[in-house]
Chain A
Amino acid sequence: MSSWLDHTINGLIVGNVYALVAVGLALIFGVSRLINFAQGSIYLVGAYIGWIAVVHLHTPLPLTIVVVAVASAIVGLIIERFGLRPLQNSVRIAPLLATIGISFVLDQLVMLIFSPNPRALPSQLPDVRFQVGGGTIGPLDLLIAGVGLTSALLLFVFLRYTKLGWAVRATAQDRDAAMQMGVDVNRVNQAVFGIAAALGGVSGMLVGMYYNQIDTAMSLQATLKGVVAEVVGGAGNVPGAVIGSLLLGLVESYGVAVLGTSYRNLFAFLLLVVVLVLRPNGLFTSARQAPPEPLTGTFIAPSRPVNIPRWALWGATAGFAVLPLFPVSFYVLQTLINAWLLGMLGLSLTLVAGTMGQVSLGHAALLAIGAYTSALLSLTLDVPAGLAVIGGGLMSAALGTLLISPSFRLRGHYVSIATLAIGEIVALVILNWESVTRGPIGISGIPPLSLFGYDLISPTSVYWFSLAVMVVLALLQGRLLGSHLGRSFRAIRDDDIAARAYGLSLNRYKSLAFIFGGFAAGISGGIAAHLYSYINHETFNTQQSILALTVVILGGLGNVVGAIVGSVALVGLPEMFRIAAEYRILIYGIVLLLLVRFRPQGLLGTV
């Protein structure tokens, strides 16, 4: 019995830690309707600034907190001024991508300056422990709880009782109306980013002290857990974020208690999905509140797609088809094979996210389902690889659509968060369902691709195969977009109420989009499995999902050719920057930011 008390205490302690990130995220979401993926990076920056202050400047704790808060706030202001403000009037999705780019750049800068090796960040509080239940808590636990609660309380008071706070809330409710009433929206945004960044930085430092460890990998995890907690509490709701965090901590802790450590994150993401399905506005947001997402299609603004003449497309296809006949190195071919595989994933996501308006952040799960199905079919049932890949595509279409269907009623960012969670759940099921997936050991010895009894082993043949598959999928998708079905998809994206009034069944059309998209992604995963010969739960990770989304936004939402161009660019650019070694991801992030800044509708425009 006493262990339940301990599990409860532990859950609250961890929830405490999550709350620090979630509050900052909630604040920004509340005002700018933006999931700030750079919040984890500010947290990272704060931790390292704290390290400099503590280890080199020997500042006392109160001064350390002030230094970190001020420095992080400055970083936040710079991000707001140069990264996000220029995107104010562009597509709603552009700032989201910009924060992803900013987080790349910040993480890489920290890694380059401080080396990726973890560092100890000694706590500056006296090391006394208080006995609580079977375990102990220290002064740092109390400080973290204090900072979390105080900041939530201060923010609550600020938002409710100060003039700037009113301005913030007015801006959150209706930006244009607020502007008309004379609210300086930019100043509001600045204030919010400054406060959120200061909070993020301080929390990174405190958490670093708590674990006596900081490293550059902490950023993405912080963002993930923060987003979950924030949404559980009700996106944009600051006190809700704190309670959501504590709840998340408790659920994880009890999950570990019941089933064991490797199920921990499974519980976190299941909690998120359940909350999203039952109470999409979060647990602590009243149902009366205006829907947090616009009803009509401002999430994805229409733009004029670049018109590429048909002969040019066929010419380019033919050019790539005959490329292996010229003396190009296998390295170039392999890079292009990667681009074609990513292209299939991009086609899938551009249909679902661009044409249908369901921005998925868990697309790697579809790859994984396709890859595992294909690998297991060919290994255990001796299905020829060519058929197994198709089986992978079908399984991905079926299972993917089934898994995603609970989130059909969600809109805008909530779809992204739900798909993010579903993606993580699939990865964790793969890790834990050992009797089928072989768990962390993974599946090795997957036979190479074969077609009609011929093995496709040489890079040239794999190149032709993957190019052909991608072209066929692209042609099908092109036909689809021009058909009645494609127009219905776009109608739902642009105005789902009007579409429904017109007699379109939303769920059915969303299912159709996911079936087609899931098939393309599953095929891509299946081919990858046979190409790699070995896969495990880490092969298709969250980074792949983010990469796929980047491809789609870069190419232009819903744009078939754009998805392929985007894939070639995003596979090619990091390879081209190889010469820059450690600096290449930094350069890649900067290029991404510049693209978003100057071409937010994507290279080829939204269709």
Chain B
Amino acid sequence: MSNIDRRTLVKGSLAAMMAGTAVSRSAFAQTAEPILLGVSGPLTGPNAQYGAQWKQGFDLALDEIHAAGGINGRKLAYQFEDSQSDPRQSVAIAQKFVSDPRIVMELGDFSSPASMAASPIYQRGGLVQFGFTNSHPDFTKGGDFMWSTSVSQADEQPLLASYAVRRLGLKKLAVLHLNTDWGRTSRDHFVKAAKEYGAEVAVTEGYIAEERDFRSTLVRVRDASPDGLILISYYSDGALIARQARQVGLKQTICAASSVYSPKFLELGGEAVEDVHLGTRYFPQDPRPEVRKFIEGFKAKYNGQEPDAFNAYSYDAMNMAAAVVKIGGTDRRAIRDAFAKVKDVSSVIYGKATFDLESRRVKGAMNAELVVRKGQFALWDGKPT
């Protein structure tokens, strides 16, 4: 073992020497070379749409960061490597980033298998893995180089449960959830909170991500005669369920998790998503200055397109990365330590984001109770639907 390690060290230092030439060259042009972040995420494959949304959020945040003078005069840039959400590729990318001295920290990956397979490499390589959509409860347990701004489902689901049970007065619930690590964790937190608030959970149904047909599931839901449907879904499957629920004649109140918050949900769902309630972290008319800046900046940059939840996550993540690099500089360890030092970073999701040092996550997500009215997301006015 020690033998292997020594050889690795020798080899590692050889690599470092090779790389050293590149570093010293860039050292002369300190201000011209941008500070480079690595991003590992899906650009192709079944999750490609989320990678595309990340890019939009990143680019908007970078524009604003550079307009404000960059990181102490230097520019910030990212290198996006396509993992297809495949652990085989994300581990290779992890080694690539770890052995590239220009990369100061890493963002991503999207899915849990891809992210958490790469965690040991980032941890051992001493490069921060900043997972901003990684809600798997074990993600930050991978080591002290794993940090996450993903809203913990232990935080989010009680808010949704409170909206459904306390505010909307639903008493008997049917929960439909994506059968992924995210969906399962969310469901468990939701059910626990809903029961605490005094509601009964009549039926829970997990479905796989590729599912398109929910009619049979919805008949099961109907037979349980709930007075409300809870969707722990993404926007595309959420829209499908809402449409089919109306087609099989379910007229109950539908309440959805924040991940459906996307203009696509309205487009795909059409009339069927009218009056769907959803708990989100911000809303279009939100007066908070950071939200106004985000939404208006986003529309200006992308031809009037409305941003969605994943755009907001990646926008926040890039701003957080900038704040961390401002404190930590370009040293990888200093960057890890800077995560513990950043305070009250302006955030669309959290308002002000500060890491909890115990869990290496951020607590206290903002809450907004929305409803779809006339094909638009609007703040719920308290009127029953």
Contacts and interface: CB of A to CB of B under 8 A. Distances in A.
A116 interface: yes
B301 to A, nearest CB: 16
19 contacts: A3-B220, A10-B216, A11-B216, A118-B49, A135-B247, A138-B247, A213-B239, A215-B49, A335-B95, A431-B179, A440-B180, A440-B181, A441-B181, A441-B185, A460-B4, A461-B8, A532-B120, A535-B113, A584-B82
Contacts of B136: 441, 444
A115 B49 contact: yes
A88 interface: no
B299 interface: no
A16 to B, nearest CB: 11
Given A115-B52, A136-B249, A212 B95 contact: no
Interface residues of B, number: 84
Contacts of A442: 112-113, 181
A13 B184 contact: no
Contacts of A538: 111, 113, 180
A354 B44 CA distance: 31
A534 B122 CA distance: 14
B167 interface: no
Interface string B149-165: 00000000000000000
B264 interface: yes
A330 interface: yes
Interface stretch (B201-209, B315-323, B345-353): B201-209
B67 interface: no
B66 interface: no
A441 B141 contact: no
A530 to B, nearest CB: 10
Contacts of A116: 44, 48-49, 51-52
Determine the main DSSP class of B at the interface with A. helix
A536 B181 contact: yes
Interface of A: 3, 6-7, 10-11, 13-14, 17, 108, 111, 115-120, 122, 129, 134-136, 138, 211-213, 215-218, 221, 252-253, 256-257, 260-262, 264-265, 324-325, 327-331, 333-335, 338, 341-342, 431, 439-442, 444-445, 448, 454-461, 528, 531-536, 538-539, 543, 571, 574-575, 578, 581-582, 584-585
Contacts of A17: 213
B381 interface: no
Given A260-B205, A578-B82, 11 more contacts: A115-B49, A118-B236, A120-B268, A135-B219, A217-B210, A253-B215, A257-B219, A261-B216, A330-B99, A460-B4, A532-B116
A536 B112 contact: yes
Contacts of A221: 210, 212
B174 to A, nearest CB: 11
Contacts of B267: 119-120
Contact of A13 (B91, B92, B121, B215): B215
A252 B211 CA distance: 12
B363 interface: no
A460 B222 contact: no
Contact of A461 (B4, B44, B208): B4
7 tightest A-B CB contacts, nearest first = A532-B117, A534-B116, A116-B48, A135-B248, A334-B95, A454-B1, A331-B96
A444 B141 contact: yes
Contact of A581 (B43, B113, B248, B264): B43
A331 B220 contact: no
Contacts of B1: 454-455
Contacts of B34: none
